Structure 1
Amino acid sequence: MEARRSDRLLWVTSLLFVVWLVWVESSFQYFEGSLGSDLRLDSAGVALVAGSFLLPYGLVQVPVGRLIDRGRVELWLLLAALAAAFCSLVFASSNSLQGLLLSRIGTGMACAVAFPASAVLARRSLPADRFALAMGFTDGLLGVGAALAAVVPLLLGRSGWRDLVLFQGLSVALMVALPMLLLGGRRRAPSQLPAAEQDMRVQRWTRAGVNRLIQCCLLYAWGLGFVFGMAQYGLLSSLRGWPNSFMEGLTLIMSIGLVVGMVASGALGGRPQQRGGLLLTGTVITLLSLLLLIKPLLPQGVLILPAFSFGVGIGTSVLAFPISEASAPPGQTAMTVSIVNTSGTVMGGLMTIVSGLILQASPQGDLSLVLLIYGALALFGVAMASWISFSSESAAVGAIPSRPDAVPSIDSAEPGE
């Protein structure tokens, strides 16, 4: 019981790390102008610094997930939080493009630990039927991090970008590194198993499990493709001539809908039998909402409703995590979550580029390319949800533990077992 309680505290602390990483990634847009002018960087240099977080974050997710599955998760979180704090301090004191890039890359790599580690701790410390809710809640924290990025500069007043980044480094040290140091020290040291016994713990993926993982990667790529490519409404706003205030209002409404959709999907998706129906409903809602948002005759005030439902529909994509994890071999939660998360991150970056190309190729008021490309993406989501809904749920029944702590891992073994 003491170990389970400690794991839950560790899980809550890992959620703070997730909020922090979104805050750091999103906050750059609020000070990139002042950073560029202070250091005399051109637009290409500023863009390079902006993109130097997500790329390494996505590239190291899978190997980091594998390491977390094989090691002590609280130790990885502690090291990652300390590295993130150090890189933030380096970024705040940098006066060259090279220093900014190296420290930003280091921050992105350190943050790659947060999401898969939180999944492992959720699986270990919560009942099995709460894992879907935990992942929905974790993904929903993206909205909290984005809100912090907008609010904190207002609270700091006239403080410059260096003060903001220093504050971020201090925050992750106090909110994540210090609790991890205290909580990790309370856990008993894991027993060292013989090498042969450790090798037996590593089980191969079944063919059905691999197919299910591919389905979930494609589904989550669908969701984040919409979130990063279109759901910020910069694309529609530019083509339809919306004022910035209206675009920001729609983005806020969509973000609220996204959080509601993720948390609700996690709460309702605790039973595997319900997940397929939720996915199919969510993808259909996304398709219909997209058509309403593109429809030129609707007044601006009415667009609030499809903006909210658009976010709710996309939020069901979070079910890709519990579906894929249920089909994974025991002890591979972090790597499975990392693979799915990486597919979404890569697709999100790709669709951001696609949206920029659409803006360049489309005259004012012409939404035909938006309908063609994002309409096809919406139909792809419906097809993927149908595929998952009507395929067998027993991809790897033997891999689904009856208790979260039944998942074998090196760091969860207690002495004497």
Structure 2
Amino acid sequence: MIGVLRDRILWILSLVFIAWMVWAETSFQFFEHDLAQGSALQPGAMALLGCAFLLPYGLVQIPVGLLLDRRQVDRLLLLGGVAAASFTLVFSRGESFQALLLSRAGMGLACAVAFPASGLLARRSLPQDRFALAMGFTDSLLGLGATFAALMPLLIGSQNWRLLVQVQSLSLAVLVVLPLALLAWSRPSLKRSSSAPTSEPEGSPNPRQLLQGALMYAWGGGLLFGLGQYALISRLRGWNTDLQVQATLLLSLSISVSMVLSGALAKRPQKRSGLLLVGSLLATISLFALGSPAGGGELQRLAGAGLGLGIGTSVMAFPMAEEAAAPGKTAFVVALVNTCGTVSGGLMMLISGLLLQLSSAEGLPLAMGLYGVFTAAGIPLALWIKRSGPQLSGRH
């Protein structure tokens, strides 16, 4: 009982870590202009900095997940928190492109422990039928963290980007590192109890279902980071700042709402394929509405919300994949699915950064064509999942 309580405390701290990670990663878009001017960096260098966090983060997820399934979660979380706070502080003081690139990549590497640890702790400490909801809530922090990142420049100003990053480093140290250190150095009997694996329901692995979950999250991650990180469409369209911020906030909040609702409904496997199909259709329609020159801003705000609701359904990839895996591999499976989303997102961010170097007349058709195909690809993927039918039930 004490071990379960301690795992729940660790789970809450891992959620705070994830929210902080999203804030630290997405806030880059709001101060990149001032950073580029202050450091005399070219657009290509800024595109590399933009994806320097996400790509290393995604690439080390799988080995981190394997390690978490075999080691004490609290110590790995503490190590990641200390490293993330340190690299963030180094980034805030970076002067050269090399220093900025390496420290931002270090931030991504250090944060790689947070998400798979959260999935593992949710499986250990919560009832089995709450896992899907827990993952929906966890992933909803992507939207909440992005919302907070959008509001911070309004409070302290984007020209104070070094101060903002230093505040981020201090926040992580106080909210995550310090509590984790206190737990790690608490009574040994409590520490040992949390490292014992919990029993999981038996079941045969389902590779096809695991692949479907990974592809669905790659779809959602590519759209979320590729479109949201740079507010790509709004900048190519030349929206004013107010409309850009409002559409971004609606996108972020609707993603959070959709992920929580999808997580709540995902515990019923028979509902997943229908929701995924609706989500992919809604995202496709909303994307083209978002790029439309008509509407005077109202259509774009509505489209931003619709796009977020559609993307949010991709969170159902986690319970799908977890049920399809062998028992005792929760952290690995969560890491695998998250890798697909983050690597896809990082690659699409790099493409978006390159598109923004083009003029609006050149970049907008390319962006709409590329992201139109990418978004619409979710429809046949959802239909494939729907045709798989009863095999999506997995372990229960």
Report the TM range for the smaller structure's normalisation: 0.7 to 0.9
The residue number in structure 2 matching 1:114 is 114
From 318, 321, 328, the equivalent of 1:321 is 318
CA drift at 1:361: 7.2
Amino acid aligned to 1:189: R
Residue 263 (1) aligns with residue 266 (2): no
Aligned-residue identity in percent: 49
CA drift at 1:102: 2.9
The residue number in structure 2 matching 1:124 is 124
Bigger shift: residues 244-253 or 138-147: 244-253
Structure 2 vs 1, CA of residues 56 and 362 (structure 1 numbering), >3 Å: closer, same or farther? same
Answer whether contact 2:2 2:193 (CA < 8 A) is retained.
Answer: no
From 382, 388, 394, the equivalent of 2:379 is 382
Amino acid aligned to 1:292: A
Answer whether contact 2:147 2:253 (CA < 8 A) is retained.
Answer: no
Structure 2 vs 1, CA of residues 189 and 277 (structure 1 numbering), >3 Å: closer, same or farther? same
CA drift at 1:219: 0.9
TM-score (ref. length: structure 1): 0.83
Structure 2 vs 1, CA of residues 36 and 285 (structure 1 numbering), >3 Å: closer, same or farther? closer
Q: What are the within-5 Å matches in structure 2 for residues 147-158 of structure 1? A: 147-156=147-156
TM-score (ref. length: structure 2): 0.87
Distance 1:86 1:13 in 2: 18
Residue 304 (1) aligns with residue 305 (2): no
Per-residue CA deviation, residues 111-147 of structure 1 (Å, 9 max, x unaligned), is 0111111111111111111111111111111122223
Distance 1:294 1:161 in 2: 30
The residue number in structure 1 matching 2:76 is 76
Distance 1:192 1:368 in 2: 52
Determine helix, strand or coil for the equivalent of 2:377: helix
CA drift at 1:188: 3.9
Larger Rg: 1
Bigger shift: residues 371-380 or 334-343: 371-380
Residue segments in structure 1 that go unaligned for 5+ positions in a row: 403-417
CA drift at 1:20: 1.0
The residue number in structure 1 matching 2:192 is 189
The residue number in structure 1 matching 2:136 is 136
Answer whether contact 2:52 2:104 (CA < 8 A) is retained.
Answer: yes
CA drift at 1:29: 3.2
Structure 2 vs 1, CA of residues 3 and 105 (structure 1 numbering), >3 Å: closer, same or farther? same
Determine helix, strand or coil for the equivalent of 1:230: helix
The residue number in structure 2 matching 1:250 is 247
Determine helix, strand or coil for the equivalent of 1:329: coil
Answer whether contact 1:19 1:145 (CA < 8 A) is retained.
Answer: yes
Distance 1:366 1:312 in 2: 26
CA drift at 1:108: 1.1
CA drift at 1:42: 4.8
Answer whether contact 1:233 1:250 (CA < 8 A) is retained.
Answer: no
Answer whether contact 1:232 1:251 (CA < 8 A) is retained.
Answer: no
Distance 1:24 1:13 in 2: 16
Bigger shift: residues 387-396 or 112-121: 387-396
Structure 2 vs 1, CA of residues 395 and 255 (structure 1 numbering), >3 Å: closer, same or farther? closer
Determine helix, strand or coil for the equivalent of 1:391: helix
Q: What are the within-5 Å matches in structure 2 for residues 177-216 of structure 1? A: 177-184=177-184, 185-186=186-187, 187-189=190-192, 209-216=206-213
Answer whether contact 1:233 1:251 (CA < 8 A) is retained.
Answer: no
Structure 2 vs 1, CA of residues 381 and 180 (structure 1 numbering), >3 Å: closer, same or farther? same
CA drift at 1:55: 2.0
Structure 2 vs 1, CA of residues 48 and 237 (structure 1 numbering), >3 Å: closer, same or farther? closer
Distance 2:364 2:41 in 1: 34
Residue segments in structure 2 that go unaligned for 5+ positions in a row: none
Aligned length: 392
Structure 2 vs 1, CA of residues 192 and 62 (structure 1 numbering), >3 Å: closer, same or farther? closer
Answer whether contact 2:210 2:324 (CA < 8 A) is retained.
Answer: yes
